[in-house]
Amino acid sequence: GHRRRHPGVEIRIVEDGGTSLVSRLERGDVHLAYIPVGDDRFVGRLLYPVHVIAVVPADSEFSQNRTLEIGNLAGQKLLALNRGFGSRNWFDTACEAANITPPVLLESASHNAILNLAAAGYGIGILPSAVSFPRKSIRAMPLLHRGISIGKWTMLAWDPRRFIPPYVERFADELVAYAQDHFPGRDIVGRAPAIRRPKLPEL
């Protein structure tokens, strides 16, 4: 869509995670970054909420749950993203608050590795709701701590100290409009209590 409407503009997408992406934005390596809300160094546009979810095989004892309390993970083997990924940090913080330390069988930078191992029954996958997954072999449910969803809103961020070209602003407008209606994991997070919508600073 965007490429058709703006044939002279080439968008380069860089995949990175957590703190590395923030560093790229701060250095000016990228104009925009998809990050969790809460870093006061940046301004931007609100996108959508990302919840921490539990991923289990279709025949799991938890597979019929609409949501899952984090306390139920005590004693369960977990498959999690490496520390440094936002959703992993939110999950660890919730575990500390719930006073549980479930054993992490695998830490990986690969969402797909966690999905495949969870589907095969090696453990419960802990992932962000924005990940896409095979619906036949896997069930996903939002994790809660005392009935409250674990997660954050995300934003399309930029550094206010740097010039943002008009074509980047147009791309941001179109991406935000699309994402708010079609964001990944929308059907999963609809089952959980909403994460309070933050107010971003005026641009």
DSSP 3-state of 117 = helix
Q: Does 93 or 164 have the greater pLDDT score?
A: 93
The CA dihedral of 24, 108, 39, 186, to the nearest 10 degrees, is 110
Give CA separation, 141 vs 62, 125, 169, in Å. 9, 11, 35
User: pLDDT tens digit string along 23-73?
Assistant: 888 888 888 988 899 888 999 999 999 999 999 999 999 999 999 999 999
User: pLDDT tens digit string along 72-81?
Assistant: 999 999 999 9
What residue type is 154 in one-letter code?
Answer: T
- The answer to whether 56 and 139 have CB atoms below 8 angstroms apart is yes
d(CA 31, CA 125): 32
User: pLDDT tens digit string along 90-116?
Assistant: 999 999 999 999 999 999 999 999 999
pTM: 0.87
